[in-house]
């Protein structure tokens, strides 16, 4: 009797068809080829040496040094910071699946995806909206997105706020920043600016955040049905 009961509770799994096996093989081969391409790119060029608070290049900025040599060093550093932040934002914007995830974030009834927020911040930065970028990086960094925290670190240094930048780096775990495993380095000479997807424009509106960010592009669903207290909390992102 017990054997009969056990036989009756067996889970029946569907047959694994030859078509499914062929599709799985195709996806696996594509994945292997993608990994091999990334390895080949890494072998052709040195890994990017991302700045950290202890980098010697940041000494003059963090110590707020003055003088001819220090000013020349600061000018060179600022140029590198701009390049690094643009390159990082470009990698975020061009990462596989980034556009689709950004559209999902913009269309959500109450957007909560930190990766979508990171992508929106990077896209805003590349299109000249630095305050809006900072708003969404703070949102994502508060949800443990280390890449957004690192963006805040670079952006804070560019705004001559080294104390704020280092605080964000340490408190928001920017030291855990790594490119997502599916990122690929943009092709050499690829333009840094990323276009604004038309699919999200109808879901975005300008909102006065009242938190030092000014007018910020925000998905409509982000503040829908929020009470005044909830609205204030949603618009207040701090390191």
More confident of the two residues 173 and 204: 173
Q: Return the number of other C-beta atoms located less than 10 Å from residue 7's C-beta.
A: 8
Q: Give the H or E element holding residue 205.
A: strand 204-208
Residue 187 has a pLDDT of: 44
pLDDT in tens, 22-46: 888 888 887 777 656 655 554 544 4
Rounded-to-integer distance, Cα 84 and Cα 68, Å: 25
pLDDT at position 193 over 60: no
Rounded-to-integer distance, Cα 167 and Cα 151, Å: 13
Rounded-to-integer distance, Cα 232 and Cα 140, Å: 17
Q: What is the mean pLDDT of residues 36-59?
A: 69
- Residue 62: band (very low, low, confident or very high) from pLDDT cuts 50, 70, 90: confident
Structure token pair of residue 192: 């840094």
Residue 106 has a pLDDT of: 81
More confident of the two residues 158 and 182: 158
Question: Which of 3-12, 71-80, 120-129, 135-144 bottoms out in mean pLDDT, i.e. has the lowest?
Answer: 3-12
> Degrees (nearest 5) of the Cα angle 106, 133, 219?
20
pLDDT at position 166 over 90: yes
More confident of the two residues 23 and 9: 23
**Averaged confidence pLDDT in the chain:** 75
Q: Give the H or E element holding residue 218.
A: strand 215-219
Residue 168 vs residues 2, 64, 125, 211: alpha-carbon distances, Å: 62, 18, 18, 17
Beta-carbon contacts of 76 under 8 Å, excluding residues fewer than 6 positions away, are: none
Q: What is the mean pLDDT of residues 185-202?
A: 55
Task: Please return the burial class of 3, using the count of CB atoms within 10 Å of its CB with bins 0-12, 13-18 and 19+.
Answer: exposed
């Amino acid at each position: 009797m017990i054997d009969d009961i056990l036989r009756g509770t067996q889970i029946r799994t569907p047959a694994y068809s030859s078509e499914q096996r062929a599709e799985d093989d195709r996806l696996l081969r594509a994945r292997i080829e993608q990994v091999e391409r990334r390895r080949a790119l890494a072998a052709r060029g040195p890994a990017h040496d991302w700045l950290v608070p202890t980098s010697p290049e940041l000494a003059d900025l963090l110590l707020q040094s003055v003088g001819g040599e220090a000013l020349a060093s600061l000018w060179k550093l600022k140029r590198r910071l701009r390049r690094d932040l643009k390159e990082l934002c470009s990698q975020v914007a061009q990462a596989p699946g980034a556009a689709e995830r950004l559209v999902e974030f913009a269309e959500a009834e109450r957007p909560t995806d930190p990766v979508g927020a990171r992508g929106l911040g990077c896209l805003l930065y590349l299109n000249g909206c630095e305050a809006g970028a900072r708003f969404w990086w703070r949102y994502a960094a508060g949800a443990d997105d280390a890449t957004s925290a690192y963006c805040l670190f670079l952006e804070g240094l560019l705004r001559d706020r080294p104390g704020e930048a280092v605080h964000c780096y340490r408190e928001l775990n920017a030291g855990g920043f790594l490119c997502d495993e599916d990122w690929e380095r943009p092709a050499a000479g690829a333009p840094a600016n990323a276009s604004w997807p038309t699919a999200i424009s109808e879901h975005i509106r300008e909102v006065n955040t009242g938190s030092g960010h000014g007018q910020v592009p925000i998905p409509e669903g982000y503040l829908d049905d929020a009470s005044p207290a909830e609205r204030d909390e949603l618009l207040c992102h701090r390191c």
